[in-house]
Amino acid sequence: MRYKLTIEYNGTPFVGWQEQAGQLSVQSVVEKALNTYLRQKVKVFASGRTDTGVHALGQVAHFDVAEKLNRRKAVYSLNALMRPYPVVIRKMELVPDDFHARFSAKQRTYLYRIQNTNFPPALNAGRVWHMNQKLDVKKMNEAAKLLIGKHDFSTFRAANCQAKSPIKTLDVLAVKRVGEEVRITVSAKSFLYHQVRNFAGALVKVGLGKWSVADFEKAFKACDRTKGAETAPAEGLYFMKVEY
């Protein structure tokens, strides 16, 4: 039996999704709970890795087990086993054998949250990027539209990215103000390492007036990471959902 998990977590205490020797990862917490509940060793495969400090509302993973499970009971038990770590299973579904959390994905969506206030976050500390100067969302959106479609995204690619090609197709990149926050929504089938955080860093530079939209376009078309902006901090990034 193959089961699909939808997982939510606060990434603050973790080195990221992927298991690393001697480090606390989301994968290790989920697998330990499954191993305890099922009384056997189980390997979990995720739709994508998240970095240190990155959060998720809709990470997807799958695992295989011989017997059919009572899903309601399993979710309740797994969430109890994972306490006090900030990780929960939102949903468990029985899926076909050919489903794969990573390779069956057609689109992944991320959200980047910026608290745009003249005071620092208290309740949202560690969950947003704080920016005390007012951001020009209209200009940010104007710049964002330039990235929609299939492009060479080398300017937004981390130096240690292991992807074979910098060419990706971006389906959605939109910026909007929601109360005290500026939110950047990004969707694509797949992403380069740090691509979304590098988008956020560059768009904020436009929003602050440090770059014009023309400056942004010039940096983008240079296809050179050294021409880009700073990488936005991990704490503002959320893995929202995967579509299959």
Structural domains of the chain, ranges and CATH numbers in brackets: 2-95 (3.30.70.580), 107-243 (3.30.70.660)
Before 84, cis peptide (omega within 30)?
A: yes
pLDDT at site 134: 97
Residue type, 3: Y
Distance between CA atoms of residues 159 and 13, nearest Å: 25
pLDDT at site 30: 98
3-state secondary structure of 24: coil
pLDDT at site 105: 97
pLDDT at site 126: 96
Task: Give the pLDDT confidence of 104-130 residue by residue, as tens digits.
Answer: 999 999 999 999 999 999 999 999 999
Q: Which two tokens stand for residue 224?
A: 């050179």
pLDDT at site 117: 97
3-state secondary structure of 205: helix
Of the candidates 41, 37, 15, which has an alpha carbon nearest to the alpha carbon of residue 26?
15
Exactly one of 51, 136, 152, 215 is catalytic; name it.
51
Does the active-site annotation cover 97? Answer: no
How many other CB atoms are found less than 10 A from the CB of residue 29? 20
Distance between CA atoms of residues 168 and 150, nearest Å: 6
Which stretches of the chain score pLDDT less than 70? none
pLDDT at site 185: 98
pLDDT at site 52: 94
